[in-house]
Structures are given as structure tokens and as C-alpha cells.
Amino acid sequence: MSKVSMQLKVNAEVLELEVEPHWTLLEVLREHLGLTGTKEGCGEGVCGSCTVMLDGKPVRACLTLALEASGSEVLTVEGLAVEGELDPLQHAFIAKGAVQCGFCTSGMLMAAKGLLAEDAHPDENRIRRGISGNVCRCTGYAKIVEAIAAATQNNESEERSR
């Protein structure tokens, strides 16, 4: 099959890519760009482990054709840390022990990032709704919810100190 040229901004880096029309964004990120933080769980958009931000909105990379993302900006879990400094969500997940096996973590972080972009101070119910499409087989979600809530408190502290 012949490849098609496309441009994609991934984690603040503009890339010129040659992709096959049937490749998903997940395939391009993992197999062609080496960004393996985005996981393939179900391949059907059900588990959320492949969640990335596409133009500021969380999407399932396994359901998004790479060409659909042409000209767009993608943020993966690898792009959350800036100049070696972890994102407040990453700090909170570590502090609250919100990971066990870690397979769902990148998708959870990206879903949470999308939620907090929409609502900087969500309550517990809103947090649970915001991550409801992301499956974790290890936990009861309590620590994940606590971590997201803690990250909003960390954001409030940072805002007050500015």
C-alpha cells in the first residue's frame, strides 16, 4: 500500500511522517515514533489505555486513524513532563500510590489531563465520570481519584504562590 505524507505535532515537536492510510494514531506513536507510554489494551476503544490528547481533547488513539490527526497537536504521557519536571498529575499519582501494574496509568493520566483542562477543580463525582472510560484491573479507583483531586489542590497552591 502506498504511504501518504502528513504533518503532526507530537509533544511540541513538529514531525513530517509517511503513513499508510490504515495506520492508527496508536500504531504511529508506538511503532514508528517509539512513544510506548501509550498502551494498546483492547484495540476497540473500550479500555482507555491508549488515551492521548489530540488538540487538547482526550481521544482513543486505537480508534483514530493517523491521517485524521494530520495537522493536529498530540500530547502523549511522555510529553507531560516539561524539561524533566513531572506534571502535577504525575507527582500526585506517585504520592498517592495511584499505580499498581501501571498498564492503565498513561491513559488515566491523559484522561485526567483532559478533565482538568475542562474543569480545574472537579469534585469526586466529576473526577469519577471523567475517568469512567478508563479501565484499571488492579484497583478500586480510590487512589486514582485521590491523586487527581490532590493534583487539583497542588494546582491551587501553585496559583496562589504566583
Average pLDDT, the chain: 93
Q: How many domains does the chain have?
A: 2
Please report the pLDDT score of residue 159 as a whole number. 47
Q: Are residues 105 and 153 in the same domain?
A: yes
Q: Is the pLDDT of residue 87 over 50?
A: yes
Q: Are residues 147 and 119 in the same domain?
A: yes
Please report the pLDDT score of residue 156 as a whole number. 53
**Mean per-residue pLDDT for 83-90?**
95
Cβ(62)–Cβ(26) below 8 Å? yes
Q: Are residues 55 and 102 in the same domain?
A: no
Q: Report the C-alpha gap between 82 and 85 in whole angstroms.
A: 5
**Mean per-residue pLDDT for 70-91?**
96
Residue 117's CATH number: 1.10.150.120
Domain that holds residue 113: 88-161
Residue 117 carries which side chain, given as an amino acid letter? Answer: A
The share of the chain scoring above pLDDT 70, in percent, equals 94
Backbone angles phi, psi at 70, to 5 degrees: -55, 130
E strand or H helix that includes residue 26: helix 25-27
E strand or H helix that includes residue 161: helix 142-161
Residue 31's CATH number: 3.10.20.30
